[in-house]
Amino acid sequence: MRKNTNSRPTKATPQKPPPPGQGKRGESGYLGYLLRQAQAASRLSLERALADLGATPPQFVVLTMLKAYPGLSGAELARVAILTPQTVSVIIGNLERDGAIKKTPHPVHGRVLQWTLTPRGLALLQKCRRHAMALERKLAAGMKPQELRAIRRWLAKIAENLQP
Examine the pLDDT at 16 and tell me if it is beyond 60: yes
CATH number at residue 99: 1.10.10.10
Helix (H, G, I), strand (E, B) or coil at 156: helix
Nearest to 58 by CA among 32, 96, 84: 84
Query: Dihedral sign, CA of 111, 103, 95, 135?
Result: positive
Examine the pLDDT at 60 and tell me if it is beyond 90: yes
Range of the domain at 108: 41-159
Evaluate whether 66 touches 121 at the Cβ level (below 8 Å): yes
Give the rounded percent of residues in the chain with a pLDDT score beyond 90: 71
In a domain, 131, yes or no: yes
Counting every residue written for the chain, the total comes to 164
- Residues 76-132: pLDDT tens digits? 999 999 999 999 999 999 999 999 999 998 788 778 899 999 999 999 999 999 999
Amino acid at site 90? V
pLDDT of residue 5: 58
In a domain, 78, yes or no: yes
The larger pLDDT score, comparing residue 44 to residue 7, is at 44
**pLDDT, the chain, mean:** 90
Other Cβ atoms within 10 Å of 99 Cβ, number? 12
Q: How many domains does the chain have?
A: 1
Q: Find the helix or strand (DSSP H, E) in which 114 lies.
A: strand 113-117
The answer for residues whose C-beta is within 8 angstroms of residue 124's C-beta and 6 or more apart is: 53, 55, 63, 100
In a domain, 12, yes or no: no
In a domain, 22, yes or no: no
In a domain, 114, yes or no: yes
Q: Find the helix or strand (DSSP H, E) in which 31 lies.
A: helix 31-51
In a domain, 23, yes or no: no
The structure's pTM equals: 0.80
Rounded Cα–Cα distance for residues 82 and 162 (Å): 13
In a domain, 3, yes or no: no
In a domain, 71, yes or no: yes
